[in-house]
Amino acid sequence: MDTKSLQLFSHLAQTLHFGRTSEAFHMSPSTLSRHIKQIENEIGHILFNRDNRSVQLTTEGERFNQYAIESLSQWRNFKRSLTTSGEQLVGEISLYCSVTASYSFLYDILSEFRGLHPKIEMKLHTGDPAPALARVMEGHEDIAIAARPNNLPSSMAFKRIAISPLVFIAPNDANAAKSLGISNQNDQKIDWNTVPMILSEEGISRSRVDQWFRQRNSRPKIYAQVSGNEAIVSMVSLGFGIGVVPKIVIDNSPLIDKVSIMDLQPELEAYDVGLFTLKKNLATPIIKAFWQQINR
């Protein structure tokens, strides 16, 4: 079966960028445009509003995107279901995680699995951990590595692989720290209404930091909101402000000597890091095999 058109559409619906999608599929933007036009002609509706500056899904495009995601997911599950227990598992697993998680956990997770199931192909996508669960729930990925939210959706399965404290970090440079008003890093002498903060745009980290400030009856002075913990470490190391990241990011950062962890109370709730997948995915042999070999 030819599912390429659905794959092209689904990818473009995520990126909303013809150049990025065409590059990912090793084709020219004009070829991609012809594929999308062919889909629109077959459906009889415009699926993307596009001009020289932007690409946006139409209402019909939103509906078709959901159809594409569900169809691709069902097709993958159908192919997986054809593998019997007496055969070597064949297929692919799509996994999403942050860059930090990729080099912190993936070797240990995948080394044994690859030995047991060499014919299973791993498709790895990296990015900001904030949308990790949504990507699994929407069918873009089979599995994600991320921190467990306070309220886990009932449709989602979770398996812990690590606990990582969530910490405040400051620049190690004395002059930079002094200019930020945290020269001695004494919590009692820091004016939290004036110290510039570098925080995640969204996600668990941002929610817990916002709660921490509310408990102190303070409002953070936000210098920058960024996507990705690695970027927070970089900006803090340069002296732009105080940041908040999981400690595992610091432990694996090339800038570990450029920042310091602040000893503040109360401590932020730690990250419960693990694997996520939809519970219904565990019925497929490939996902089940992957899931069962973790922490055996």
Which structural domains are found in the chain, ordered by start? 1-82 (1.10.10.10), 88-164+270-296 (3.40.190.10), 166-269 (3.40.190.10)
**Better-predicted residue by pLDDT, 14 or 224:** 224
Task: Tell me how far apart the 2 most distant CA atoms of the chain are, in Å.
Answer: 67
Torsion angles phi and psi, residue 113, rounded to 5: -65, -40
Q: What digits encode the pLDDT tens for the residues 168-211?
A: 999 998 898 888 888 665 556 788 888 999 999 988 999 999 99
Residue-level pLDDT at 58: 93
Range list of H helices, the chain: 4-15, 18-24, 29-43, 59-81, 99-116, 132-137, 174-179, 204-215, 229-237, 247-251, 285-292
Angle CA 42–45–50, to nearest 5 = 115
∠ Cα 234 260 196 (to 5°)? 60
- Asked which of 82-86, 93-97, 282-286 is least confident by mean pLDDT, the reply is 82-86
The answer to whether 236 touches 243, Cβ cutoff 8 Å, is yes
Other beta carbons within 10 angstroms of residue 278's beta carbon come to 19
**58: three-class secondary structure by DSSP:** coil
Give dist(CA 89, CA 285) in Å, integer. Answer: 8
- Residue 188: its pLDDT value, please? 61
CA distance 128 to 228: 5
Angle at alpha carbon of residue 229, lines to 227 and 233, rounded to 5°: 120
pLDDT tens readout for residues 236-270: 999 999 999 999 999 989 999 999 999 888 899 99
Q: Model confidence over 130-153: pLDDT tens digits?
A: 889 998 988 889 999 999 998 899
Reduce the DSSP state of residue 142 to 3 states and report it: coil
Tokens coding 146: 């991320």
Task: Name the 3-class secondary structure at 92.
Answer: strand
pLDDT digits (tens, 9 = 90+) for 42-52: 999 999 998 87
* CA gap 268, 280 in Å, rounded: 33
pTM: 0.67
